[in-house]
């Protein structure tokens, strides 16, 4: 069973509920935040293994949250997957070039797509080593 901790950030409770269910079914531990400022606080408090981050939030958008975390020595190692309705090339480019995100996933995304993006981002950082060793 996977033991990675995922910080799930979205201002829509229904999205949080659905995505949380997808992740927990795969064995992930999920911590929630409902806005950008709360995401920054919870990242420091919880030290998640990955952040699944919405872009459009009322208090601080996901791009600014990601950029803040990726330019801080204490949090820059945490992979960030943007999960957003903004699917254009320009939005994807902003996720990577401005916000330094590790992946950009467009809503609506299936549970399988979300889990796959999370698994891939964790593998790319080597943070799933404990999980791989347990499965062997």
**Residue 43 belongs to a domain with what CATH number?**
3.40.50.2300
Residue (of 81, 31, 35) closest to 58 by Cα position: 35
Distance separating alpha carbons of residues 105 and 92, to the nearest angstrom: 9
pLDDT at 34 (0 to 100): 96
1 pLDDT more than 50: no
> Which residue stretches of 1-136 are H helix?
13-25, 36-46, 62-70, 89-97, 111-125, 129-135
Domain that holds residue 17: 5-135
Distance separating alpha carbons of residues 120 and 56, to the nearest angstrom: 24
Query: Which range (49-58, 66-75, 93-102, 123-132) has the least confidence?
Result: 123-132
Q: Please say whether the beta carbons of 75 and 44 come within 8 A.
A: yes
What are the tens digits of pLDDT across the range 22-71? 999 999 999 999 999 999 999 999 999 999 999 999 889 999 999 999 99
């Amino acid at each position: 069973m996977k033991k990675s901790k995922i910080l799930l950030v979205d201002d829509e409770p229904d999205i949080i509920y659905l995505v949380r269910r997808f992740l927990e079914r795969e064995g992930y531990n999920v911590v929630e935040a409902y806005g950008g400022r709360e995401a920054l606080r919870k990242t420091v408090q919880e030290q998640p293994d990955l952040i699944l981050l919405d872009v459009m939030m009322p208090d601080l958008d996901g791009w600014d949250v990601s950029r803040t975390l990726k330019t801080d020595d204490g949090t820059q190692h945490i992979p960030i997957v943007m999960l957003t309705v903004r699917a254009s090339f320009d939005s994807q480019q902003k996720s990577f070039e401005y916000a330094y995100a590790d992946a950009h996933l467009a809503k609506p995304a299936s549970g399988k797509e979300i889990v796959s993006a999370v698994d891939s981002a964790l593998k790319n950082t080597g943070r799933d080593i404990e999980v791989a060793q347990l499965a062997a």
